[in-house]
Amino acid sequence: MKLIAQFSLVLVFSVGVLVAAMALPSHVVQEGMQSAPMVEAGRRMTMPCMSCHGANGDASEGKYPKLAGQNAEYLVAAMRAYRDGRRDSSEMRVFMAQLADEEIDAIAAFYAAQAPR
Ligand code: HEC
pLDDT, position 94: 94
Q: Is residue 58 in contact with ligand 1, taking CB distance under 6 Å?
A: no
Q: Is the pLDDT of residue 25 over 50?
A: no
Hey, whose CA ends up nearest to atom 11 of ligand 1?
A: 64
Q: How far apart (Å, rounded) are the C-alpha atoms in residues 33 and 79? A: 15
Q: Give the ligand 1 atom nearest the CA of 50.
A: 5
Whole-model pTM: value is: 0.79
Q: How far apart (Å, rounded) are the C-alpha atoms in residues 6 and 97? A: 58
Domain at 36-117, CATH from 1.20.1250.20, 1.10.760.10, 3.40.50.1110, 2.160.10.10: 1.10.760.10
Hey, whose CA ends up nearest to atom 25 of ligand 1?
A: 65
The per-residue pLDDT for range 5-22, each reduced to its tens digit, is 665 655 555 554 444 444
3-state secondary structure of 44: helix
CA 112 to centroid of chain Cα atoms: 7
The per-residue pLDDT for range 61-112, each reduced to its tens digit, is 999 999 999 999 999 999 999 999 999 999 999 999 999 999 999 999 999 9
Give the DSSP letter string of 47-86: GGGHHHH-TTS---STTS---TT--HHHHHHHHHHHHTTS
Gap from CA of 117 to ligand 1 centroid (Å): 18
Q: Domain spans of the chain?
A: 1-34, 36-117
